[in-house]
Structure 1
């Protein structure tokens, strides 16, 4: 009886809800109604959290709440970064890390996207590709590094393969899932108008998979830096990870923190770049994110 009463009340409100959706002015005139969505985006809101974190670090260091032997003060880290820039070590190692991460990310994105299209558009392709991808997904990258060292040595090839395989997984998972959720009506429409296989991929499949692709790309950017941190501490002779390994040997905590800050900033700016690209590519889509 209670369920019927709730259903009747909801059905009775449907005309009002439909009128509100059809009339933007009416939709805005809802005094006393609580906002359900997150609201409008805050300008530069993504920087508020990091700024507060740095502010807490400054206050903790200034008041002595944070032991300098455990975590150096921000001004000490900034001074150390200035010294590393002055002697050229920071720039050269940063450039090496950017090249490794960029190349591994680019190849991994391409591989993941191709595999997702093969598995998403063909049942045979899915049978061949999805199983191995899921197996790799369940195996941590750290567990594969000893095997990759045996197979490919300890040079740049091993480092690139580790980053590439790590990046390809989130691209594949999210793009494949989005491909499988493309509205069947679009597929039927493509068949009705007589689109070729390539036209269907270009006009329906690829645009329909973009939301999942960008979700995977955001994850892939972060994972690329995580994999870079690992491989640059395996017999590397250059890179930010190598710089941090040397600093650990000599007990230079300030240099280690400089490396961590750089990794964090690279990850943050990379995520911002992907989100900006996503907004432009998916400007037609209305979401709670704005």
Structure 2
């Protein structure tokens, strides 16, 4: 047995292409699966939905077929009104997101670096964040009227709390050794926050931005329900009032699509920034 069969050499002599192809056949490691596997479930869902609609198992007035919804989108595009509604809604979300995220970043930075401020304001903020979004609507209508300012303020409220909470949590969990290094280099409090604490809390901050953006898209629906005459939320309510389920579902699909696109933008920018700092997510 001594000088005969050596299984180790047989394993090592396998062609590299054979190993790679075996993984590609078995599943999800090639370039195509890694990029498109996330679209598999929605595609299957739409195909099954279309087949059930064609078979008459879904009521057309409640669950119109995907091709019917696509036709509704084409009609809205041809009429020129869809781009206007999309532009209004995106502008509201962007404005509310920027206002809420900036305020949350400033307050979380101050509260995270100053225990007295944190003990003073954090309990109140934690109580306010549990208020449902629709509870703010009558107050903002009373204060700001049925104008863009009330809608943007409501979206900013939705964005504020997750950004604040995640950033504050990230700041409080920064490695104490990093702060000690900052003290060794005699950084003042502002420099310590800007150069040590906030960079270390960056991953948590990015999670907060993505969560806040998601809530911003949710809150824009509530904002556009309260008296808007433009936007995807108005289009959805108009579909409800006129009994057009295809318009309602088309609006929901557009909310999902633009929400995913904006989230993907933050994710890509965040990953690039983290890679520059030697951190990965």
Query: Which category of TM-score, normalised to the shorter sequence, fits these structures?
Result: 0.7 to 0.9
Please state whether the residue corresponding to 1:99 is helix, strand or coil.
Answer: helix
TM-score, normalised by the number of residues in structure 2:
0.84
Distance 2:243 2:102 in 1: 40
> What is the RMSD of the two structures over their aligned residues, measured on CA atoms?
1.7
Shift of 1:192: 0.9
1:243 equivalent in alignment to 2:207: no
Could you tell me which runs of 5 or more consecutive residues in structure 1 were left unpaired when the two chains were aligned.
Answer: 1-38
Q: Which of 276, 282, 285 is matched with 2:279 structurally?
A: 285
1:215 equivalent in alignment to 2:215: no
After TM superposition, the structure 1 stretch with the greater mean CA deviation from structure 2, 171-180 or 235-244, is 235-244
1:110 equivalent in alignment to 2:138: no
Question: How many correspondences in the alignment?
Answer: 249
Indicate if the aligned counterparts of 1:105 and 1:221 stay in contact, CA closer than 8 A.
yes
Shift of 1:51: 2.3
Q: Which of 116, 123, 132 is matched with 1:124 structurally?
A: 116
Show the counterpart of 2:19.
Answer: none
Please state whether the residue corresponding to 1:69 is helix, strand or coil.
Answer: coil
Alignment of 1:176-191 (within 5 A): 176-191=168-183
TM-score, normalised by the number of residues in structure 1:
0.81
Show the counterpart of 2:254.
Answer: 262
Shift of 1:259: 0.5
Runs of 4+ in 1 over 6 A off after TM superposition: none
Distance 2:120 2:40 in 1: 45
Q: Which of 50, 62, 70 is matched with 2:42 structurally?
A: 50
Indicate if the aligned counterparts of 2:61 and 2:244 stay in contact, CA closer than 8 A.
no
> 1:286–1:86: structure 2 CA closer, same or farther, 3 Å change rule?
closer
Show the counterpart of 1:82.
Answer: 74
Distance 2:201 2:214 in 1: 21
After TM superposition, the structure 1 stretch with the greater mean CA deviation from structure 2, 54-63 or 252-261, is 54-63
Distance 1:121 1:46 in 2: 40
**Which digits, 9 at most, give the CA deviation of each residue in 1:104-133, with x for residues without a partner?**
011111011111101101012212321221
Show the counterpart of 1:227.
Answer: 219
**Which digits, 9 at most, give the CA deviation of each residue in 1:140-191, with x for residues without a partner?**
1111211221222221111111000110000000000000000000011111
Show the counterpart of 2:17.
Answer: none
Show the counterpart of 2:86.
Answer: 94
1:198 equivalent in alignment to 2:206: no
Q: Which of 136, 146, 157 is matched with 1:165 structurally?
A: 157
